[in-house]
């Protein structure tokens, strides 16, 4: 096996479980590597870990373990998958949902691999060419492991990361246009081929239920609402009226259908295709306010270099969102970027509140649902933050 020497001391971090090695940490970056090829990381003290290579990515190596005694083949992959599945099968919080993240990459010791299950359809995403090279040949074993861990899987559909519509069947037939799933009392039709991510944003599941618990009797505005997730739970939780805003027409149409599918009265829901910033500016002009505003934007800080622009965007968005909250109401505001964590988001809310002269009190800080486990030594994995803010 090829050896890669480290130029930076990563022994403590890697031993503690940090699974990423950047190209800049390697002594020689020019060694030719195949996508997904196994490599041994070494430092002055000797062998340190085994990982797979991703020659086209700044995250050049993803760590799989301390050594290759587990042999890192099919049997090993099946065992890791079974362990991930068993964790979900035993999680009582997932008992009333049929859409579950079975494998959360790094958080399940399977770096670069995501598997989301919608009813009996597994949707697979490889996080880059290295992950595809390593995991691709092991996917039949991964499927067996997931079944052994307690989940029925009829087909596996692999999607190209970030490219809607592009994918291929790894096993079974291509998925139908719509797969019906349950999330508590909410029902969705999920389009795993053309929908965003793998079809749904499963990480916000618990936060959607939480929002539902706050919605009774309230006028609710769900910004960046996608296919209606937060709206459905608000409606089921007794919201007087819900407005869903998203810039993607297909998502907004699906939100309307999911509202009906969940047995809710269509006269209590308004689905709007609009830019959230523009909608909020319009609401401000019209003096329109809501008792509960949910604000779940896409990441404005996908890279650390985007941070200054992201700070300004989150500040502006939260200032507009706070303005749309009636006095005594609530704002649930989120960030899904590890570069924009709890501290950054809290600071953005503080600055926004000062700017629009409103008082904001943080009542709760929440993260991703439990089927998105976080390695304690890998803070980058803790990417989702949601603040519950009381607004005076």
Interface map 278-297 toward ligand SAH (x if CB under 6 A): ------------------x-
Q: What's the closest the beta carbon of residue 296 comes to ligand SAH, in angstroms?
A: 4
According to CB under 6 A, which one of 210, 226, 300, 314 is a site residue for ligand SAH?
Answer: 226
195 scored as a contact of ligand SAH (CB under 6 A) = no
Instruction: Give the interface segment with ligand SAH, choosing from 1-9, 23-31, 160-168, 218-226 (CB under 6 A).
Output: 218-226
Instruction: Give the interface segment with ligand SAH, choosing from 171-179, 196-204, 302-310, 369-377 (CB under 6 A).
Output: 196-204
298 scored as a contact of ligand SAH (CB under 6 A) = yes
Sequence-ordered list of residues with C-beta below 8 angstroms from that of 163, at least 6 positions apart, any chain: none
Tokens of 175: 């998925």
247 scored as a contact of ligand SAH (CB under 6 A) = yes
The residue assigned the tokens 């096993």 is 171
Tokens of 131: 């992950």
Give the residue with the Cβ less far from ligand SAH, 226 or 314: 226
Give the residue with the Cβ less far from ligand SAH, 61 or 234: 234
Residue 133: phi, psi to the nearest 5?
A: -65, -40
Residue 336 falls in the annotated catalytic set: yes
Give the residue with the Cβ less far from ligand SAH, 37 or 97: 97
Instruction: Give the interface segment with ligand SAH, choosing from 7-15, 105-113, 161-169, 246-254 (CB under 6 A).
Output: 246-254
Pairwise CA distance, residues 209 & 237, whole Å = 9
Can you spell out the DSSP letters for 116-161?
EEETTEEEEEESSHHHHHHHGGGHHHHHHHHHHTT---SEEEEEPT
The distance in angstroms from the start CA to the end CA of the chain is 62
Q: Strand pairing partners for 187?
A: 182
State how far the alpha carbon of 344 is from the alpha carbons of 107, 171, 338, in Å: 23, 42, 10
Q: What's the closest the beta carbon of residue 299 comes to ligand SAH, in angstroms?
A: 9
Instruction: Give the interface segment with ligand SAH, choosing from 55-63, 225-233, 258-266, 378-386 (CB under 6 A).
Output: 225-233
Write out the E strands in 274-384. Answer: 290-295, 325-335, 360-366
According to CB under 6 A, which one of 204, 244, 318, 333 is a site residue for ligand SAH?
Answer: 204
Residue from 320, 313, 368, 377 nearest 345 by CA: 313
According to CB under 6 A, which one of 20, 118, 135, 201 is a site residue for ligand SAH?
Answer: 201
Give the residue with the Cβ less far from ligand SAH, 80 or 233: 233
224 scored as a contact of ligand SAH (CB under 6 A) = yes
Residue from 186, 118, 130, 194 nearest 156 by CA: 118
Give the residue with the Cβ less far from ligand SAH, 37 or 227: 227
Q: What's the closest the beta carbon of residue 223 comes to ligand SAH, in angstroms?
A: 7
Strand bridging mode 385-391 / 219-223: unpaired
Instruction: Give the interface segment with ligand SAH, choosing from 57-65, 117-125, 222-230, 360-368 (CB under 6 A).
Output: 222-230
246 scored as a contact of ligand SAH (CB under 6 A) = yes
Q: Which of 336, 386, 387, 391 is catalytic?
A: 336
Residue 64: phi, psi to the nearest 5?
A: -105, -25
Pairwise CA distance, residues 390 & 53, whole Å = 47
Pairwise CA distance, residues 290 & 267, whole Å = 17
275 scored as a contact of ligand SAH (CB under 6 A) = yes
Q: Which residue ranges make up the site for ligand SAH (CB under 6 A)?
A: 196, 201, 204, 208, 224-226, 229-230, 246-248, 251, 275-276, 296, 298
Query: Among all residues, which ones are annotated catalytic?
Result: 336
């Amino acid at each position: 096996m090829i050896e890669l020497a480290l130029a930076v001391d990563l022994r403590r971090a890697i031993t503690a479980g940090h699974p990423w090695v950047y190209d800049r940490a390697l002594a020689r970056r020019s060694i030719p590597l195949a996508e997904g090829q196994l490599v041994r990381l070494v430092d002055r003290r000797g062998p340190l870990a085994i990982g797979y290579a991703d020659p086209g990515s700044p995250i050049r190596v993803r760590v799989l373990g301390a050594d290759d005694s587990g042999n890192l083949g099919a049997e090993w992959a099946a065992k890791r998958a079974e362990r991930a599945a068993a964790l979900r099968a035993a999680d009582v919080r997932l008992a009333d949902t049929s859409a579950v993240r079975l494998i959360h990459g790094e958080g399940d010791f399977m770096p670069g691999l995501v598997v989301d299950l919608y009813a009996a359809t597994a949707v697979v995403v490889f996080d880059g060419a290295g992950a595809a090279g390593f995991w691709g040949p092991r996917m039949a074993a991964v499927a067996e492991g997931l079944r052994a861990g307690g989940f029925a899987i009829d087909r596996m559909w692999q999607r190209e990361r970030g490219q809607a519509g592009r994918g291929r069947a790894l096993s079974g037939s291509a998925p139908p246009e719509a797969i019906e799933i349950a999330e508590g009392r909410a029902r969705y039709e999920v389009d795993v081929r053309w929908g965003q991510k793998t079809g749904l944003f499963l990480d916000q599941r618990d936060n959607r239920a939480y929002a539902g618990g706050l919605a009774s009797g309230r006028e609710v505005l769900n910004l960046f609402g996608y296919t209606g997730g937060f709206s459905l739970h608000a409606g089921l939780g007794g919201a007087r009226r819900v407005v869903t805003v998203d810039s993607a027409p297909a998502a907004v149409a699906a939100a309307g259908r999911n509202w009906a599918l969940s047995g809710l009265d269509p006269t209590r829901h308004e689905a709007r295709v609009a830019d959230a910033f523009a909608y909020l500016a319009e609401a401000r002009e019209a003096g329109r306010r809501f008792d509960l505003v949910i604000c779940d934007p896409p990441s404005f800080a996908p890279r650390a270099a985007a941070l200054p622009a992201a700070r300004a965007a989150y500040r502006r968005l939260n200032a507009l969102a706070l303005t749309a909250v009636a006095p005594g109401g609530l704002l649930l505001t989120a960030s899904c970027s590890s570069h924009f964590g709890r501290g950054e988001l809290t600071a953005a809310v503080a600055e926004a509140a000062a700017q629009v002269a409103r008082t904001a009190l943080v009542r709760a800080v929440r993260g991703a649902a439990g089927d998105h486990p976080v390695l304690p030594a890998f803070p980058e994995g803790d990417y989702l933050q949601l603040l519950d803010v009381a607004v005076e």
